[in-house]
Each structure stands twice: as structure tokens, then as C-alpha cells.
Structure 1
Amino acid sequence: MKFHDFYETLGVPRDAPQEEVKRAYRKLARKFHPDVSKVPEAEARFKELGEAYAVLKDPEKRTAYDLMGSGLKAGQDFQPPPGWDAGFEFSGDGFRPETGADQDDFFEALFGRRTRGAARSHAHGAGQDHHAKVLIDLEDAYRGCERSVALRMPMQDAQGHVVLQARTLMVAIPKGIRAGQHLRLAGQGGPGAGGGQPGDLYLEIEFRPHPLFRVDGRDVFLELPLAPWEAALGATVEAPTPDGPVQLKVPPGSAAGRQLRMKGRGIPGATPGDLYVALKISLPPVANERDRAAYLAMADAFDFNPRGAQKG
């Protein structure tokens, strides 16, 4: 997917106030409207202008676009980085595109997201619900904890520039929470009007990338290195888990890639997940003549050709 420079499309600088963005769009939209323009490819140009303005006119979408596109130029290969929007607080439906909008793949990749949080009807004067994604450690889901969460809310200042308003909340992370679940913080959304109740804040949970573990639902996956003799002869070895190390029995004759299941060692819950351990054979390095002699002795001791099965 190629990056689209919406500022270049509208011919405005990246720090342009919102009113300048609006003026630029209106001027170019009149010039390239397919009903009146004689310019070749006017319809395609008009669509590009509409996509650019749909993002830059909205302080929230504009902030998200600036975050993801910082330092990129039009035409460069682009993929939204994982967790790019963590800690950013958005109102209403977040990045849900306008109903009936005809957007291209780039726009959809950025903003064609499902609505985060639950839909909720509001009484007259009630504040908007807000939504934010927060990153937690996998270990937090095993134990539960209280975490300080820093949020930044895109807003427009008196000069028409988009700024970020920061706030910090203490949030209780319940034991057993999964990635993709939402925490509802009542009354922490947008303020109500005329004495109306404030909206709620929905926090979508996502796990930070972990150096050891991969998560799928409640199941957790680990790759565990073994010495060749541990795999061949069997052994009881220490294996890390997000809840602390455990002793794992490796059966004799375990080949590289074999997967062992540790029932109930995944993310806790009414039905806890499992922890799957994929075995990886690690070879000792040849650092000196003694090491070399050991490998030569092994080669002499075994009548073994690992490629024998490939012979036709």
C-alpha cells in the first residue's frame, strides 16, 4: 500500500490551521468538480480531495494521520504500525468512516475501523462516549493490577491548530482480561450539556509485544530452546510462563518443532487458556579444539544421515 500525502493533495503546510484547510479544499473542489471541470481526470482528482479533506478537517483523524505518516512521502510503501493509536482518546465512533463513503484502500486501512466499545443511546444533553486503546503487559492479565494510563485527546485551539490535551487515570486491570476486550469507565467520557450526565470512556485492551510469548485469545505460545541431549534423552527443564517459571518434562526423542501443551497455563478465566511450548534444538558452539573433538566423536558414534529421507 502506498502512502497518500493529504497535505500535498490540498496544497497546505502540515501546520495549517483548520480554517486554511477548509479554504483550500473549497477552492480546489470547485475547480475539479466533475460537473463543471474540463480538466482531464477531474473526477479522480475530486475524489482525492474529498479523501484528504475527510481526514484533515477532523482534529481526531488529522492527529492519527500525522502520527502514522510522520516523515513519509507520497508514494512510499506504508502499513499502519501495530498499536499506533495506543493512548489516544477519541470521541464518538473513533475512525468509523462516513456512511456511504467511497474510499480507497489507503483510507480504509487508516480509518475503516470497527467502532470501539459498545454502542449506547444517550439522553438529551448527555456527553459523548470516548474511546482509547491502551497497552498492558501480558503479565498484567495473569495477575490483575492497577495501572496509571496516560491519554491524549486531540482538540482544536483558539487559533485553529490541532493540539493534544493530556490526562492520566488510574485503571484497575482485572485478572483474565484478553486483548480486544473493553473496560468501561463510567463518567470519564465527554462532558454533558446543560447539566446532562457525562459520557463513558471505553478502553480497548492490547498487549505490548513480548520478547518470549505470543498470544491468541486465551492461549499463549512459547518457543523453548533445548540442548540436543535434552531433546534426545528427555529431561525436566525450567520453562518461563507469564506467571513465573515452571518445571516442564520433555519426553525422550523430542524433535525440533514438537509442541507440548501445558493445560490451564494460558490467560486465566472461567475456562483458562493453555500454554503451548514449541521445542527448538540449540547446538553448542564450537569455541575450541575440545568442542570440535566432541562433535567429531559424535559423528563417529552415530550412523546418522539427516537427509536420508530425501533420497529418491
Structure 2
Amino acid sequence: MNFSDARELLWFAAVLYGIAFAIGLLKTFKIDWTPLRESSLIAIVLGFSFQTRALYLRGIDVHGCPLGNGLERTQFILWSLILTYLILRILWRLNLLGTFCAGLASLAGCICLSISGFDPPYWLSSEYERLFSDHWIELHASIAIFSYGIFSLLAVISLMYLVQRKALLSRKFSSLGSFLPPIHDLEQAGFRLLSIGVFFLTISIIVGGMHWTRQPEFVTSIKLIITMVVWAGYTVLFFLRYGNRLFGSKFAKFAIALFFIAAFSLSFVNSKDANRQIESRSHSEPS
């Protein structure tokens, strides 16, 4: 394996996440084998390490935070998902959370790596200088994508909540349901993650606004509208949950739906934004 090739490292990270997911399932079905006890966490940590190095190498190539195409944004969200899980694992011991996160990271990682058009080498253009012309907009983008990673973890916990709720309502023994955390713990964890995600997304919009007011030509109206719609959606969800007007399975379903909307909205952001900045700089330079 080439440790200097970002794509190879990302493939290896996806495989390790897949191994962690498989081990988690084996433990779920009560296969009590001593080497399996910490193997899942070790595989996740190793996968996260390879993914971190891959994003670091891509960041060197693009001269900034790697968020210029679909692959980079997806991988950054998955990286944020695993990072948030590793941090929260110290605070909240939620059974099977690592298994669900590893499964999502492996599946989404393999899909985005398999789609060739998802990773155009925009940085190889002869006119390319750097992805972001301003450090403020780079900070805005990185915080926004990080918040999406938190929202992806919220979606994972919401899915776990729905699975556990179905198991409880059916009143039948379920191997998966018996290993999931108590439904109250999942609901509380979901609200806390929503609060953290909304906080980071709000900070991102504030930082972005500082750039947009100075250089509005770099912001398309569709991108601005979509950003505000996603922020408004999560903010409304927060206040509805805070006021106990939306909770339980409805809250979980809305959280999952909002994440899919947020992820889909990223398709309206592409490397053409970098090209637009390059063209704007070239036009502004004296001939």
C-alpha cells in the first residue's frame, strides 16, 4: 500500500471501518471470543488514522482544507462522524454506537470512492492556486462540514432509537435490540448532538457572513438559500424538541430526513466555486 496516496489510504480506512462493523455484529450475536472485545474499537481508531492522513495529504495537494469535490466533502463528513464518536465515547457509553458509525463510514466511503466523477482532480488545473481565496471562508466551510458530521451521528443515533423502539413495541426478543442502549439514553443523546450541531452550524454561518459581506460575488444565491434552509431546519427542530413539541419517533425521523436533505444540498457546491475564484482573481489582475 502506498502511504502517500490519499485514495489508497481512504480505501484502506473504509475496509477497516467495515471490519469494525463486522466485529460489532459478531459481538451482537454473543460470539464471546476474547480477541473480539476491543478489536472493533482498534479497527475504528486505525481506520480514523488512515483517513486523517489521507485528508492531510489531499489538503497539501489542494493548498487548504480538502472540500473541493464530492469525495472530499463526503470523507470530511465521515471523518467528523468518527471523531465525534471517539470523543463522545468517553462521555457516553452507548452500546453499538461504534458499530453503526463504522458501518455508515465504510458504506459511504466505498460508494464515494467507487464513483469516478465524484473526485475530479481540480487542483491539477494550470490556473489553480488554492481552493479558498480567503481564510475566513475556509474556516466557514470546514466548520459547516464538521457540523454535518455531527448531524450524521445524530442520524445514526436516531436510527438506533427507531430500531430499539420497534423492538420494544413488538415485545419480542431481538438480538440487536437487547444490545442497544435504553431508549431514554438514545433520546437524550440525540438532543445533545442536535444542540452541538446547531451551535457549530450557527458559528459557521456567522463566520461565512463576515466573508460574504466583503466579497458577495463569490457566493451564489442558490448556495446561500440552501445553507440558510438547512440551518433553519435544524434550528426549528432544536426549538421544537426543546419545547417538547416534537420528540420520540417523530423527532428521530425528522433528524434522519434533515440529514439526507443536508447531504443532498452539498451537490450544489462543487469545485467550480474554486474556479470562479480563480477567474475573478485573474480578471482583477492588471494586464
The TM-score normalised by the length of structure 1 is 0.24
Between the two structures, name the one with larger relative contact order (CA 8 Å, sep ≥ 6). 2
Return the structure number with greater helix share: 2
TM-score by length of 2: 0.25
Q: Which has the larger radius of gyration?
A: 1
